[in-house]
């Protein structure tokens, strides 16, 4: 399955904004992950060899289908190289490498989301090695589904097949080789991944 643009919203759960020392935004903070960083319905997360501190961020992904309506959703991991991101933030530089490396957006398979109202108070959770790390409810989002979709459609050239990642609740943290990551969107989807780290290429 081809994923085109991945529009992400930062700091959409107040408790996560606080844990990274960020202010709660007054309008959506949108950034991009490359569509080609998505891996759909794989059970492996492959981390690039150069990455040192890759954090999990579990999020609900909305998929824009025909007529740019949301009719499907999925679990997504907005993987983030936190060290690279912190350095970029400090220097006032873009976050692209921290958010858009190869494999930075693992996605589960898709489930139907025809009536958005049915999904406005569901839990989203993530476990690492059976330890609950992240937990939130979609009702805690600062900007709700319609607001986010409207905002992104207003300002950006959205396409059919694009994803919107709706933000992560608190509890983000680093992944290690061999970790088993399980994510759940209440009543719809669970997905499990095993973390692998690429070996550094040897020089000829």
Q: How far is CA 70 from CA 18, 35, 41, 113, 164, in A?
A: 29, 17, 19, 7, 10
The torsion angle over the Cα atoms of residues 97, 143, 175 and 186, rounded to 10 degrees, is -140
Q: Does residue 78 belong to the site contacting Zn ion (CB under 5 A)?
A: yes
Could you tell me which of 131, 103, 75, 76 has the C-alpha nearest to residue 195?
103
Rounded (5°) CA angle 86-19-31: 55
Which residues from 156-185 bind Zn ion, rule CB under 5 A?
168
Q: Does residue 81 belong to the site contacting Zn ion (CB under 5 A)?
A: no
Tracing tokens 């805690």 back to the chain, one arrives at 140
Query: Shortest gap between Cβ of 140 and Zn ion (angstroms)?
Result: 15
Q: Does residue 57 belong to the site contacting Zn ion (CB under 5 A)?
A: yes
The nearer residue to Zn ion, 38 or 112, going by C-beta atoms, is 38
The nearer residue to Zn ion, 82 or 182, going by C-beta atoms, is 82
The nearer residue to Zn ion, 20 or 158, going by C-beta atoms, is 20
Contacts with Zn ion by CB under 5 A: the residue count is 3
Distance, CA of 76 to CA of 2 (rounded, Å):
15
Which residues from 36-55 bind Zn ion, rule CB under 5 A?
none
Query: Shortest gap between Cβ of 3 and Zn ion (angstroms)?
Result: 16
Task: Give the binding range for Zn ion (CB under 5 A) out of 34-42, 73-81, 110-118, 145-153.
Answer: 73-81
The nearer residue to Zn ion, 64 or 76, going by C-beta atoms, is 76
The nearer residue to Zn ion, 32 or 71, going by C-beta atoms, is 32
The nearer residue to Zn ion, 69 or 170, going by C-beta atoms, is 170
Query: Shortest gap between Cβ of 204 and Zn ion (angstroms)?
Result: 38
Which residues have CB under 8 Å from 110's CB, separation 6+?
Answer: 63, 72, 73, 74
Determine the length of the chain.
204
Give the CA diameter of the chain.
57
Query: Shortest gap between Cβ of 88 and Zn ion (angstroms)?
Result: 15
Task: Give the binding range for Zn ion (CB under 5 A) out of 42-50, 71-79, 93-101, 170-178.
Answer: 71-79
The residue ranges that bind Zn ion (CB under 5 A) are 57, 78, 168
């Amino acid at each position: 399955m081809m994923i085109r643009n991945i529009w992400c919203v930062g700091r959409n759960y107040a408790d996560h904004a606080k844990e990274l020392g960020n202010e709660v935004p007054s309008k959506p903070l949108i950034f991009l992950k490359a569509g080609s960083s998505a891996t759909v319905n794989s059970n492996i997360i492959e981390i690039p060899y150069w990455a040192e501190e890759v954090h999990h961020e579990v999020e609900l992904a909305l998929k824009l289908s025909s007529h740019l309506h949301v009719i499907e959703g999925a679990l997504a991991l907005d993987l983030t190289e936190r060290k690279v991101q912190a350095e970029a933030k400090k220097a006032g530089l873009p976050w692209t490498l921290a958010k858009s490396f190869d494999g930075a957006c693992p996605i589960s398979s898709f489930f139907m989301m025809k009536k958005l109202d049915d999904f406005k108070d569901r839990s989203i959770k993530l476990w690492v090695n059976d330890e609950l790390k992240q937990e939130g409810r979609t009702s805690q989002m600062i900007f709700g589904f319609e607001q986010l979709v409207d905002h992104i459609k207003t300002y950006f050239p959205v396409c059919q097949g694009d994803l919107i990642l709706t933000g992560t609740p608190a509890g983000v943290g680093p992944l290690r080789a061999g970790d088993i990551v399980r994510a759940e969107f209440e009543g719809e989807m669970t997905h499990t991944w095993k973390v692998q780290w690429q070996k550094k290429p040897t020089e000829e």
